[in-house]
Amino acid sequence: MGHRGSHRRAVPRLAIVGLAMLLAFGPLHVGGASVSDRIVAVVNTELITLSELKAEISAEEKRLREQYRGDELERRLRQLQYRGLTRMIERKLQLQAAKARGVDVGDEEILKALKELRRQGERVDENNPADKKSVREQLTLMRVVDREVRSGIMVSEQEIKRYYETHQDRFLMPDEYRISQILIRPKAIETEEEARSRVAAIYAQLKAGADFTDLALKYSDGLESTKGGHLGYVRQGELLPQIERALTALTPGEVSEPVQTTEGWHIIRLEEKRPPQFRPYAEVKNEIQALVYEQKSEDVFQVWLADLKNKAFIEVKF
């Protein structure tokens, strides 16, 4: 047992020892039907019971039991129990901090959130006390973290620029091609071989020096045929794999051999190839600001949570 005051500094060690005992003594066999309820942890003046822990990890436990057997299952169940209890302790500490600071969520907000969850397809019941409690807790957690952690975080221009300069690979755009195509779709009245021969005849005209634009206007079944087959700029990764493979072998001005896809036969002309470029700073500034803000928020949150733990009385009863 532990007490506030002179024993407060020993609390983290008690928590670690308790959780280590949980791992050593093995799983709780939470799938069993005959386990009686009992206290598994004390967090300041509040308790966590075995039945609450079972409810916390039930969905994850079911998935593990479907995937694993024997010693591997037991090992993963022990890890799950550790994570589940840690999660519950941390949640209680945050909710206690919210209460101490007067953070509250009204019934109207809870009802509004439940309706929104239902609109999004979640299976929640506005009249179910358990659903109401869960939503109340989630909203309270969000509000206390916003107040105690996120509200004081600022991201400077210097930090944004430093991130941009040190994470250039994140903002590298792939190769860009300007291409044209002649697309030949097999007609309902012709065989595969007849369609192949038709494509081969068009390709032969190109190899003999015929104008690509003229042939696209005359023969292509693609929507871009009225523009002489011009598709404009596309980036690597946006095209079908077969066409991309053909493009990589071309230099500007060259025409690919016919490439067959589910759409038909493609003859591709590479008009221009642009090397990889970095997205401009102005274009990604807001994106970087959000990334840095989230990173700083997480760092400050972990410090805040560690402080809550250090000041708390936590006892794991295994």
**pLDDT tens column, 82-135:** 999 999 999 999 999 999 999 999 999 999 999 999 999 999 998 999 999 999
> 150 pLDDT exceeds 80?
yes
> 2 pLDDT exceeds 70?
no
> 291 pLDDT exceeds 90?
yes
- Give dist(CA 15, CA 280) in Å, integer: 49
Q: What is the pLDDT of residue 9?
A: 34
- Report the run of H or E that residue 179 belongs to, with start and end: strand 176-184
Residue of 147, 153, 146 lying closest to 293 (CA atoms): 153
* Model pTM score: 0.66
Q: Are strands 176-184 and 264-274 parallel, antiparallel or unpaired?
A: antiparallel
- Give dist(CA 222, CA 227) in Å, integer: 10
Q: What is the pLDDT of residue 190?
A: 83
Query: Percent of the chain having pLDDT more than 70?
Result: 88
Q: What is the pLDDT of residue 74?
A: 95
pLDDT band at 192 (very low <50, low <70, confident <90, very high): confident
> 4 pLDDT exceeds 80?
no
Q: What is the mean pLDDT of residues 152-171?
A: 95
- Give dist(CA 232, CA 272) in Å, integer: 10
- Give dist(CA 271, CA 281) in Å, integer: 28
Q: What is the pLDDT of residue 5?
A: 36
